[in-house]
């Protein structure tokens, strides 16, 4: 949009740019800057307009965008332009992701590069390589405490290794996702060290307080994220003799986004990794970016403004790069990270669908889909040009963040229901085959979350111990059922490494003093590649899960109705054990897929006449595109075997 004030400021800024920037050919940069400048200026002004140095900061911001544009490799700029033309590219059903730790998966980045054919074998074409930046030797929250945002941790490899990996991935058509931990740094980061040495410029990068007055006010309303290992939200620093805000672990210092210098530094870092080959940037803990006394300091309006500004700036320099919002927050809050009142994402194009993840686990434990159906109905619609990351497990715990109203509407009492789920997944509940462990127990609120690998939570570990083939079979079916749900829902499925092989809990973390207190290490495995060879042995557990998932990926890629164009209709069925929805191909409306999953241990039936006039499903010519077989029907009653799913065409 053209607006005089911002345009004349833009002209002034362009005149004042460093000569080395002015000399370059910046054609694409200028057209994009012109298009976004009004928004960038307005947002920057809302956030930082009060400051005397506002204009200097604006110039600096434009310089950072321009310098990174100049450094952007030709191959990546070409990709930017291709993606501008095919702007819905990431909504395609062809994308299937996997998140992994490079050390657990393959030792280091070099090892990971050697294993790329594994992704092609399975059909994965997006890989989220979890934190690989320099972090402290000891506890580092799995790399989420970063001590240098521009360098690879030597244990993972070098910058050259990453560049080589990124190039090889691009050749194979695999997208690279990297983390930028926006909310905090490690206390070993240079900025923190300088702050400790008394440099006020760097003390302003963090929230630092002389005494407990403000911290105490914050504590009244701020929840604790890691109540067991890091109670409270502030840490006393001996060197400074001051309090530092540390919402996560005490060695993770929260960055102060009231300071525009912090915003510009972090934008520069996002662009740095974009220029090093990241197709997608995962923005960690975005809900926490803005703090306000008297609030939870999560999901604040300014946190959204910061993300909008990040997006607008990134679009100028590297428009092909997407953002993932990691906001594990209430369903009504999650969708806001796409940006509100828009068609295209104004903040992050992709967001973790934590709501769906937790609801699926609820359906497994209760064998009922009441809460799943209820909760999905309350999940706000996403924007047209934005999509979900659908996942079953990730490197974090499972939080039971459902809406209390939804729990009640499903006929449960919220506290009792959450207790049941925790008891179920930690194996306290008598009838449960799950082998999870509690995480983050909060004495004050009674809240607790759950750790454990997909296979161990679903019952495979217990079944193997009992050497019970029937139980093993059920566990495998449930693993495939859950996968079928994330592959067909709409959005990009994100597998968690090892789950495609049925990897069990790894208890070795208990022997490492830097990990023992954090049960999330239970499900951050080291892949045993000899054992992984069993995927080639017919009838083995590895083979049954791996081939099941592999087939799902292949089938998903063929079915355009699985692309994410708001083309899902939830079906409200009588049977409380079934979860069903219809996916429609908007280009060819006749081509619909009926997805139905049975979460119960007994066979269930669906009355096809409940579908009304949707598709031609009632004529009984149904075929399951996953297995290629026809399901069992009795007149218009469709039978779904226990813990199984169908992807049906009519
Ligand atoms: C994220 O987590 C990361 O995924 C965790 O591995 C890190 O420990 C954490 O940030 C700090 O960097 O911030 O918005 O319940 O779900 O901490 C959600 C714990 C986050 C995680 C939560 C999450």
Does 248 sit in the ligand 1 pocket, CB within 6 Å?
yes
Confidence of residue 650 (pLDDT cuts 50, 70, 90): confident
Over residues 574-588, mean pLDDT? 94
Does 179 sit in the ligand 1 pocket, CB within 6 Å?
no
Q: Which residues of 178-198 are buried (b: 16+ CB within 10 A; e: fewer)?
A: bbbbbbbbbbbbebbeebbee
The CATH code of the domain that includes 571 is: 2.60.40.1180
The answer to whether 320 and 354 have CB atoms below 8 angstroms apart is: no
Handedness of CA 551, 554, 560, 562 (dihedral sign): positive
**567, part of any domain:** yes
**Whether the predicted pLDDT of 618 surpasses 90:** no
> Could you tell me the distance, in angstroms and rounded to a whole number, from the CA of residue 171 to the centre of ligand 1?
32
Q: Which atom of ligand 1 is nearest to the CA of 439?
A: 15
Does 202 sit in the ligand 1 pocket, CB within 6 Å?
no
DSSP conformation letters of 203-214: HTTB-EESSSHH
Would you please indicate which residues are annotated as catalytic (active-site) residues? 284, 326
Does 603 sit in the ligand 1 pocket, CB within 6 Å?
no
Q: Is 503 helix (H, G, I), strand (E, B) or coil?
A: coil
Of 181, 285, 291, 298, the residue with max ligand 1 atoms within 8 A of its CB, to mutate for a pocket test, comes to 285
Q: Which atom of ligand 1 is nearest to the CA of 145?
A: 12
Q: 189-198, 510-519, 608-617: lowest mean pLDDT where?
A: 608-617
Amino acid 445: pLDDT: 87
Rounded Cα–Cα distance for residues 543 and 545 (Å): 6
165's tokens: 């990996």
Rounded Cα–Cα distance for residues 166 and 109 (Å): 10
**Which residue would you say has higher pLDDT here, 23 or 200?**
200
Model pLDDT for residues 287-312, shown as the tens digit of each residue: 999 999 999 999 999 999 999 999 99
Amino acid 212: pLDDT: 98
Query: What phi and psi values does residue 239 have, to the nearest 5 degrees?
Result: -60, -45
Does 94 sit in the ligand 1 pocket, CB within 6 Å?
no
Confidence of residue 478 (pLDDT cuts 50, 70, 90): very high
Q: Between vectors from CA 340 to CA 337 and to CA 344, what angle results, nearest 5°? A: 85
The answer to whether 445 and 455 have CB atoms below 8 angstroms apart is: no
> Could you tell me the distance, in angstroms and rounded to a whole number, from the CA of residue 396 to the centre of ligand 1?
7
**619, part of any domain:** yes
Query: What phi and psi values does residue 645 have, to the nearest 5 degrees?
Result: -135, 160
Amino acid 590: pLDDT: 76
Does 397 sit in the ligand 1 pocket, CB within 6 Å?
yes
Confidence of residue 38 (pLDDT cuts 50, 70, 90): very high
Over residues 252-256, mean pLDDT? 98
**642, part of any domain:** yes
Model pLDDT for residues 315-326, shown as the tens digit of each residue: 999 999 999 999
Q: Which atom of ligand 1 is nearest to the CA of 248?
A: 11
**595, part of any domain:** yes
Does 303 sit in the ligand 1 pocket, CB within 6 Å?
no
Rounded Cα–Cα distance for residues 370 and 367 (Å): 9
The answer to whether 567 and 584 have CB atoms below 8 angstroms apart is: yes
Which residue has the CA at smallest separation from atom 8 of ligand 1?
141
**433, part of any domain:** no
Rounded Cα–Cα distance for residues 54 and 39 (Å): 16
- Helix pair 370-378, 354-366: axis angle to 10 deg: 160
> Could you tell me the distance, in angstroms and rounded to a whole number, from the CA of residue 559 to the centre of ligand 1?
34
Model pLDDT for residues 45-88, shown as the tens digit of each residue: 999 999 999 999 999 999 999 999 999 999 999 999 999 999 99
pTM here is: 0.97
**638, part of any domain:** yes
> Could you tell me the distance, in angstroms and rounded to a whole number, from the CA of residue 285 to the centre of ligand 1?
6
Amino acid 24: pLDDT: 85
Amino acid 381: pLDDT: 85
Model pLDDT for residues 545-575, shown as the tens digit of each residue: 999 999 999 999 999 999 999 999 999 999 9
Q: What is the 3-state secondary structure (H, E, C) of 464-493?
A: HHCCCHHHHHHHHHHHHHHHHHHHHCCCEE
6, HSE (Cβ side, Cα atoms, 13 Å):
18
Q: To the nearest whole number, what is the mean pLDDT of the chain?
A: 96
* Residue 641, domain extent: 561-649
Confidence of residue 343 (pLDDT cuts 50, 70, 90): confident
Confidence of residue 385 (pLDDT cuts 50, 70, 90): very high
**153, part of any domain:** no
Confidence of residue 345 (pLDDT cuts 50, 70, 90): confident
Strand partners, 569: 582
Over residues 267-274, mean pLDDT? 98
Confidence of residue 335 (pLDDT cuts 50, 70, 90): very high
Rounded Cα–Cα distance for residues 254 and 234 (Å): 10
> Could you tell me the distance, in angstroms and rounded to a whole number, from the CA of residue 181 to the centre of ligand 1?
10
Does 181 sit in the ligand 1 pocket, CB within 6 Å?
yes
Amino acid 588: pLDDT: 83
Confidence of residue 254 (pLDDT cuts 50, 70, 90): very high
Closest CA to 649 of 481, 488, 486: 488
Model pLDDT for residues 405-435, shown as the tens digit of each residue: 999 999 999 999 999 999 999 999 998 999 9
Does 518 sit in the ligand 1 pocket, CB within 6 Å?
no
Closest CA to 372 of 387, 362, 386: 362
Question: How many other C-beta atoms lie within 10 A of the C-beta of residue 20?
Answer: 10
Confidence of residue 36 (pLDDT cuts 50, 70, 90): very high
Does 254 sit in the ligand 1 pocket, CB within 6 Å?
no
Amino acid 623: pLDDT: 95
**232, part of any domain:** no
The order of strands in the sheet holding 592-598 is 568-570, 578-584, 592-598, 645-649, 623-624
Of 129, 133, 144, the residue with max ligand 1 atoms within 8 A of its CB, to mutate for a pocket test, comes to 144
Model pLDDT for residues 350-361, shown as the tens digit of each residue: 999 999 999 999
Amino acid 505: pLDDT: 98
Of 284, 395, 445, the residue with max ligand 1 atoms within 8 A of its CB, to mutate for a pocket test, comes to 284
Amino acid 295: pLDDT: 98
Q: What percent of the chain has pLDDT over 70?
A: 100
Q: What is the 3-state secondary structure (H, E, C) of 25-90?
A: CCHHHHHHHHHHHHHHHHHHHHHHCCCCCHHHHHHHHHHHHHHHHHHCCHHHHHHHHHHHHCCCHH
Q: How many domains in the chain? A: 1
Which residue has the CA at smallest separation from atom 1 of ligand 1?
285
Amino acid 606: pLDDT: 95
- The continuous run of DSSP H or E covering 322 comes out as strand 322-325
């Amino acid at each position: 949009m053209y607006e005089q004030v911002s345009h004349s400021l833009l002209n002034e800024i362009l005149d004042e740019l460093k000569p080395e920037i002015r000399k370059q050919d910046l054609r694409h940069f200028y057209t994009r800057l012109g298009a976004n400048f009004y928004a960038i200026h307005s947002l920057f002004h809302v956030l930082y307009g009060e400051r005397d140095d506002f204009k200097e900061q604006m110039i600096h911001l434009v310089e950072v965008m321009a310098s990174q544009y100049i450094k952007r490799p030709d191959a990546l700029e070409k990709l930017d332009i291709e993606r501008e033309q095919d702007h819905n590219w990431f909504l395609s059903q062809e994308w299937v992701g996997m998140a992994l730790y490079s050390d657990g998966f393959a030792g280091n980045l070099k090892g990971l590069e050697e294993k790329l054919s594994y992704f092609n074998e399975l059909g994965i074409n997006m890989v989220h390589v979890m934190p690989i930046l320099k972090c402290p030797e000891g506890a580092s929250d799995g790399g989420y405490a970063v001590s240098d945002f521009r360098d690879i941790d030597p244990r993972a490899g070098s910058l050259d290794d990453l560049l080589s990996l990124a190039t090889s991935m691009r050749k194979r058509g695999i997208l690279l996702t990297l983390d930028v931990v926006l909310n905090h740094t490690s206390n070993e980061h240079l900025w923190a060290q300088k702050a400790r040495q008394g440099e006020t410029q760097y003390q302003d990068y963090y929230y630092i307080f002389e005494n407990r007055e403000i911290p105490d006010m914050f504590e009244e309303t701020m929840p604790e994220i890691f109540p067991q290992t890091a109670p409270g939200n502030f840490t006393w620093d001996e060197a400074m003799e001051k309090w530092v805000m540390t919402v996560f672990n005490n060695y993770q210092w929260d960055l102060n986004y009231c300071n525009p210098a912090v915003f510009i530094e972090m934008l520069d870092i996002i662009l740095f990794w974009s220029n090093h080959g990241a197709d997608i940037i995962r923005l960690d803990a975005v809900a926490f970016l803005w703090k306000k006394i008297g609030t939870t300091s999560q999901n604040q309006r300014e946190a959204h403004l910061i993300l909008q500004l990040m997006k607008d700036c990134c679009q100028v320099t590297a428009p092909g790069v997407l953002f993932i919002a990691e906001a594990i927050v209430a369903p009504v809050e999650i969708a806001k990270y796409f940006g509100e009142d828009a068609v295209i994402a104004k903040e992050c194009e992709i967001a973790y669908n934590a709501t769906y993840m937790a609801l699926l686990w609820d359906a497994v434990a209760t064998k009922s889909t009441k809460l799943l159906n209820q909760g999905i109905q309350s999940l706000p619609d996403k924007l047209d040009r934005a999509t979900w990351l659908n996942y079953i497990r990730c490197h974090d715990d499972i939080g039971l963040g459902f809406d209390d109203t939804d729990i009640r509407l499903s006929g449960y009492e919220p506290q009792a229901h959450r207790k049941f789920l925790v008891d179920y997944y930690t194996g306290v509940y008598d009838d449960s085959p799950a082998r999870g462990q509690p995480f983050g127990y909060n004495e004050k609120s009674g809240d607790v979350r759950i750790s454990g690998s997909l296979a161990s939570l679903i019952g495979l570990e217990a079944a193997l111990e009992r050497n019970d083939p029937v139980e093993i079979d059920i566990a495998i079916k449930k693993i495939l059922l859950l996968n079928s749900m994330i592959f067909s829902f709409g959005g990009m499925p994100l597998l968690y490494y090892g789950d495609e092989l049925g990897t069990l809990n790894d208890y070795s973390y208990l022997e490492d003093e830097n990990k023992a207190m954090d049960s999330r290490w239970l499900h951050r495995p080291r892949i045993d590649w000899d054992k992984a060879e069993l995927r080639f042995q017919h009838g083995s557990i590895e083979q049954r899960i791996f081939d099941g998932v592999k087939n799902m990926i292949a089938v998903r890629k063929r079915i355009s109705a699985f692309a994410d164009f708001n083309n899902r209709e939830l079906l409200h069925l009588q049977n409380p054990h079934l979860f069903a929805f219809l996916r429609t191909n908007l280009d060819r409306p006749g081509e619909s897929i009926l997805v139905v999953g049975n979460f119960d241990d007994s066979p269930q039936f669906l009355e096809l006449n409940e579908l009304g006039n949707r598709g031609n499903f009632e004529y009984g010519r149904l075929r399951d595109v996953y297995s290629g077989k026809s399901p069992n029907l009795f007149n218009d009653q469709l039978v779904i075997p226990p813990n199984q799913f169908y992807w049906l065409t009519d």
